[in-house]
Amino acid sequence: MPTKGTRIGPYEVLGPLGAGGMGEVWRAHDARLGRDVAIKTLPALLAREPELLGRLRREARLLASLRHPGITTIYGLEEIEGQGYLVLECVEGPTLAERLEEGPLPIDEALEVCRQVAAAIEAAHKSGVIHRDLKPSNVKLAPGGEVKVLDFGIGKAMVRRDASVTLTVDATRTGAIVGTASYMSPEQALGEAVDRRTDIWSFGCVLFECLSGSRTFDGQGFAVTVGLLTVVSCVEHVPPPAKGAS
């Protein structure tokens, strides 16, 4: 795993930028072009899992297919001794999640931030890609008011079947639940096939949090949140009462 001073191809690692359950991000310097980059890799315990390395490669291809100023740019993919490293644009500034720790955003700021998020997600959808993990910690507030959507690690290309666009929830196991519970649509939380509307649901949760400072769904743990979403899903599918029924 990278440490300060490690070289990954032509890049010299400067230090950690962040980490999550499925990835670690490091700041590195590209001396050839005189710029810093962000390098994303799998956590040490998962780095050599073929399935997850394949997911990293898919993320690289998805990002390479996207062209929008509100989506972080990919510079390349390095594979060294069986480990994969995404080389990404290094976006300065706090995440939206860090900003929300200070409280809700003023209405004008919230609308501008979410306008840019919506534009980025719409561009991804037009390119046939669903994000599936849109949340404040995957949104960066860059200097100058620019907003960037990050981390397409569980994103997936959409496929067309009979004029409808759908998506299998997991790239390798249909029905597996991936995403972040508090921002998942009911169908995603239930492990069902989803389409671009799952991102629209997540976007609504982000907008609500920007305006209120609180999560739309904030159950005590994953199971409670999924339970709430299951109830919502069931209510959505309850047929209206028959005419004349009491």
Mean pLDDT by 10 residues, the chain (246 residues): 83 88 85 94 67 80 91 91 88 95 97 97 93 92 93 65 37 47 82 87 95 81 60 61 60
Is residue 195 among the annotated active site residues? no
Amino acid at residue number 138:
N
Q: Is there a contact between 114 and 104 (Cβ–Cβ < 8 Å)?
A: no
d(CA 181, CA 185): 9
The pLDDT value recorded for residue 161 is 42
What per-residue confidence (pLDDT) applies to 165?
37
Contacts 24+ apart (CB under 8 A), 32-37: 35/90, 36/90, 37/11, 37/75, 37/87, 37/88, 37/89, 37/90
Q: What is the pLDDT of residue 176?
A: 45
Q: pTM of the full predicted structure?
A: 0.78
Q: What's the confidence (pLDDT) of residue 104?
A: 97
How far apart CA 231 and CA 214 sit, in angstroms, is: 21
- Position 177 scores a pLDDT of 45
Token pair in block for residue 83: 């480990």
Note the pLDDT of residue 178: 55
Please give the domain boundaries of the chain with CATH numbers for all domains: 7-89 (3.30.200.20), 96-236 (1.10.510.10)
The answer to whether 141 and 96 have CB atoms below 8 angstroms apart is yes
Give residue 216's pLDDT: 84
Catalytic residue among 30, 36, 108, 133: 133
DSSP 216: S
**Residue 215 region, left (φ>0) first, then alpha (ψ -120 to 50), else beta?**
beta
pLDDT of res. 194: 83
The pLDDT value given to residue 245: 56
